[in-house]
Amino acid sequence: MTTKLSTIVATPAFLHLDPEAAADFRDRALALLTASGSALDFIVGDPLTTGDPSFEDDGSTARVPFAGTQRVYAKLDGGDLTPAEWAANGHPEYPVLTFLLASEY
């Protein structure tokens, strides 16, 4: 099973990061989420992390290297709900992946 994304958004601050660092993090996050059939819903891009992704919180959080100077996040909302449950909560899109700075979370 893979995660299917409906909407991908980024905060204005995330869009102002170094384009290469942001693109690398985006690509890593998308690869992890689309390959995952697990509970993964939160990815931390950490300048202090090196090597392969590490997983925390029973597999719901992944920590990956980030070439920028600050932590960034990719947060998946709605991945654990069915499309009908997501719509019943008033959300038109299912699920939503948001890229943001750690300071914005």
Q: Is the dihedral of CA 5, 94, 57, 99 positive or negative?
A: positive
What 8-state DSSP symbol labels residue 32?
H
What tens digit of pLDDT does each residue of 43-69 get? Answer: 999 999 999 999 999 989 999 999 999
Cα–chain-centroid distance for residue 6?
13
User: Global pTM?
Assistant: 0.83
Write out the E strands in the chain.
7-10, 42-46, 54-56, 61-65, 72-77, 96-101
What tens digit of pLDDT does each residue of 72-105 get? Answer: 999 988 656 666 776 677 666 667 889 999 999 8
Q: Is the pLDDT of residue 26 over 90?
A: yes
